[in-house]
Amino acid sequence: MQMRTLGKGLKVSKIGFGAMGLSFSYNKTSPISHGDAIALLRKAVDLGVTHFDTAEVYGPYVNETLVGEALAPFKGEVTIGTKFGWNIQPDKTPFMQGFDSRPEQIRKVAEDSCRRLGVEALDLFYQHRVDPAVPIEDVAGAVGDLIREGKVKHFGLSEANAATIRRAHAVQPVTALQSEYSLWTRDVETEILPTLEELGIGFVPFSPLGKGFLTGAIGVDAKFGEGDIRNTIPRFTPDAIRHNRALVELLAELGRDLAATPGQVALAWLMAQKPWIVPIPGTSKIHRLEENTAAASIALSPADLARIEDAAGKVKIEGERYPPALMKQSQK
């Protein structure tokens, strides 16, 4: 698989792998087994994926341990991004924990994440969400200290706005921003992408397939299992699905011309936007993993991109991408 560069020197595969769904958010009713998850992650390496994404809050904690175990045979061959920033409490739902990006907490999370991942230094360490109680300069400074000590290699932010990115970057260069971006979530195009390009920061879009919607596999009668995050997301109500299917139909039509699936077209479109964009689709299924990674070899022509842009511009996406409480945590 072709490689891309995030920031000033983190080289990763053109498509990464988001491991969150292997531990929570999607699989509570019929979770993937530990052995199958290990096999899936190692299959991703076989297919050319060198960049994997996790976080302490996924589980919490168990996702980092899973990723560390699966990738242990490939040390030096792959990179792993993980995240800090939550006040994790076992009796509360992940992402509803409250923030904690105090410098002493950042250091503790770094040490604990290294232990769970089985590494001496974290390749990419993101602030998972901006903590309004801690100045971003203090956060950047704390991660900078860890970088100078050799415990972290690269600093990242997630769901931060342009002003916050600039303030952090002035203290400690930011290698990558991770935020949602896909054909049905394009907010970052106005301010975020120009800021990243100006500062030389890479972009790692999560949910590049719209939490599965852009694959075409989710219909109006879709039923999500217990604990599936999509049960709470406004875009996955039957009315919103019915309305937003127009976007999937566009992808399917173009896919037929390219001998590609709707999901592959969506990923190819995303990678065509900038050479420093590295999406991290996640899945628990081998055939979807193979489908996603194959998208790295699809080259959309200027005419294809114009066709997508024209048609997508006529589809007004219905429904917010998160419930209100989670929307408040973004773009700070």
Catalytic site residues? 58
Distance CA 284, CA 287 (A): 9
Measured between alpha carbons, how far is 321 from 277 in angstroms, rounded to an integer? Answer: 21
The pair phi, psi for residue 220, each rounded to 5°, is: -60, -30
Q: Residue 295 is encoded by which pair of tokens?
A: 């998208």
- Our measurement of the distance from residue 303's CA atom to the centroid of its chain's CA atoms, rounded to an integer in Å, reads 28
Residue partners of 266: CB distance under 8 A and separation at least 6:
182, 183, 208, 209, 210, 214, 215, 251
How close are the terminal C-alpha atoms of the chain, in Å? 34
d(CA 308, CA 227) in angstroms, rounded, equals 34
> How distant, in Å, are the alpha carbons of 19, 24, 39, 58, 246 from that of 32?
12, 10, 11, 15, 31
**CA 33/CA 37 separation, integer angstroms:** 6
Enumerate residues 6+ apart whose C-beta is below 8 A from 317.
184, 185, 235, 244, 247
Which candidate, 3, 19, 11, 26, places its Cα nearest to that of 71? 19
Q: Which residues of 25-45 are buried (b: 16+ CB within 10 A; e: fewer)?
A: bbbeeebbeeeebbebbebbb
